[in-house]
Amino acid sequence: MAEYIAPIRDMQFVVHELAGLDQVASLPGCEEATADVVEAIFDEAGKFASGILSPLNRTGDLEGAQWKDGNVATVTGWKGAYKQFVDGGWNALSCDPEHGGQGLPRIVSALVEEMWNSSNMSFALCPMLTRGAIEAIELRGSEAIKQTYLPKMIAGEWTGTMNLTEPQAGSDLAAVRSKAIPQADGTYRIHGQKIFITYGEHDMTSNIIHLVLARTPDAPEGVKGISLFVVPKFLVKADGSLGERNDVHCVSIEHKLGIHASPTAVLAFGDKTGAIGYLVGEENRGLEYMFIMMNAARYAVGIEGIALSERAYQRALEYAKTRIQGAEAGVKGGGKAAIIRHPDVRRMLMLMKSQTEAMRAVAGVVAAAMDTARCHPDAEARKRSQAFVDLMIPIVKGWSTEKSIEITSLGVQIHGGMGFIEETGAAQHFRDSRITAIYEGTTGIQAADLIGRKIAREGGETIKGVIAAMRDVLPQLDAAGGPAFAAIRQSFAQGVDALEQGVAFILRTYGADIKSASVGAVPFLELFGIVAGGWQMARAALVAQRRIDEGKDNVFYRTKIVTSRFYADHVLSRAGSLAYAVVNGAAGALEIEDEAF
């Protein structure tokens, strides 16, 4: 099977034509992100992804991480690849230069992360969690904590984890029961168990820095009584060297459907004297701080969904071009044909291709907004961009991951019976993708956050602005002319109307009847994702036509218009039915008695 090849041409298109790299590079702190620098980064990242990480993906799936006596051995080749990864500076790409990072914009690092996840998601999970831990410490850690941990974590010498879930808690963090007992020296002794901890134990680095949610003895009940602590695997001496082993141990790792090479640990804190922890920020504000890490992780998980979709598409396309089976419909006497000539296979490939490109475009635009929210000199511009980012995080996370399950399943379908056979590799992408819609908050949690915090709570102000921006594209589609743009315009206009209908329902229903509004939350998230994707694909088609008019009539731009038209015909056309489910779908779900299920 062929190795992953980074879709650099489409990434460059997103960065320059849709996300506006020039505008991002003009922001304070982002000046080094010139077109030449970004091109070089993408080229080198693509080589590393295809040459180093991709060949280990199948090995990792077959071999899996191994637990023995509290220690976890990573897959053959993992340690060497990780050393090359950190030696190449990839771990520090978008981190703060003050502590050794390169400070590149999120729009750059996000698409590089897509390459890591496409080539080897199990490997990429480790630096992804480390980056989230770095961000939480950067924003809320004391100066002492920053100086102790950030340089090593940014350099990749130490990795980081996020410890939320407990056996009795699941997604309900109000049920967290881990204890943090204050000590006379200002530290805390942590006692409790955490489950589902990605890379909670491994052999790639000398230390692992756990960010742990726990309760102090006098903490109030519920989410308002949770504090956040740094708990290192090995304590760190004053001179920065490693000291004794902390009282945190891996008691097992999970046996999972996918991502076999990523160790998912059960960690026991304080089985002996108590694990020494250091308070991050103030007591009882831990959940607030953890959401810094959570939002970063949620966006990154959305990137995983896009990445797996791209990888599944590449594999399915390769198979469709080489698998000879059946005669081409409508061609008499033509003999057997590659299955890419069969209309239904072409439809499935275009579903994979168009939705992956739409998701990448949405995520790229959101990444650029993150850079604006962080770096723009005008406070009002930062506020507007952050509101847009907050609104779109559930879409990038929830929509992209749900679509990845469908897209990787289509990849199996295109392979036919061979897709169900592990040797082809198609099944691994399907299995790996299934977790993405669950961790860092299930799709239902993303949807509840979207309709509650991001729409109802602010009276729909931000999403109404997004809808207005969408409608601004319609006159441009009218002016473009031609059958392709007429089709895109029709489906997109209907999609925006459907989205507006769903928003209106949420705003008038949520406060008075939260259950009825919540039944349609996930359909609304899908509706918003589809229309947001249509927005970016419409913009992409317009840019492509402009480039063609400028004399750049190459295959890429023609294909972008065709792909955008397909998306409008086959994906955007679903918007009306989703809006109907949002507005009318409560009765069938809520009126049935529990005993009748």
pLDDT at 27 over 70: yes
pLDDT in tens, 35-86: 999 999 999 999 999 999 999 999 999 999 999 999 999 999 999 999 999 9
pLDDT of the residue at 332:
83
- Sorted by where each starts, the structural domains of the chain and their CATH numbers stand as 147-287 (2.40.110.20), 452-596 (no CATH)
pLDDT in tens, 382-408: 999 999 999 999 999 999 999 999 999
pLDDT of the residue at 176:
83
Q: Is the dihedral of CA 277, 280, 286, 291 positive or negative?
A: negative
pLDDT of the residue at 174:
65
**More confident of the two residues 363 and 223:** 363
Question: Residues of the chain with pLDDT > 90: what percent?
Answer: 90
pLDDT of the residue at 288:
86
pLDDT of the residue at 277:
98
Over residues 437-458, mean pLDDT: 95
pLDDT of the residue at 553:
79
pLDDT at 139 over 70: yes
pLDDT at 289 over 90: no
Over residues 293-311, mean pLDDT: 93
> Pick from 520, 401, 389, 534: which is nearest to 463 by CA?
389
pLDDT in tens, 322-381: 999 999 998 887 789 999 999 999 999 999 999 999 999 999 999 999 999 999 999 999
Least confident of 217-226, 428-437, 504-513, 530-539: 217-226
Question: Residues of the chain with pLDDT > 70: what percent?
Answer: 99
CA 71 to CA 196: how far, in whole Å? 16
pLDDT at 585 over 70: yes
Over residues 481-486, mean pLDDT: 95
Q: How confident is the model at residue 173 (pLDDT cuts 50, 70, 90)?
A: low
Q: How confident is the model at residue 293 (pLDDT cuts 50, 70, 90)?
A: confident
- For 102-106, which contacts have Cβ atoms below 8 Å and span 24 or more sequence positions? 103/29, 103/30, 103/32, 104/30, 104/32, 104/33, 104/41, 105/24, 105/25, 105/27, 105/30, 105/33, 105/367, 105/368, 105/371, 105/375, 106/367, 106/368, 106/370, 106/371, 106/374
Average pLDDT, the chain: 95
pLDDT of the residue at 2:
85
* Residues 6 or more apart in contact with residue 472 via CB below 8 angstroms: none
* Dihedral, CA of residue 282, residue 285, residue 291 and residue 293, to nearest 10: 20
Adjacent-strand bridge partners of 162: 211
pLDDT of the residue at 333:
79
Over residues 287-313, mean pLDDT: 91
Q: Is the dihedral of CA 506, 508, 510, 515 positive or negative?
A: negative
Q: Which residues are catalytic?
A: 440
pLDDT of the residue at 294:
82
CA 313 to CA 94: how far, in whole Å? 28
pLDDT of the residue at 18:
98
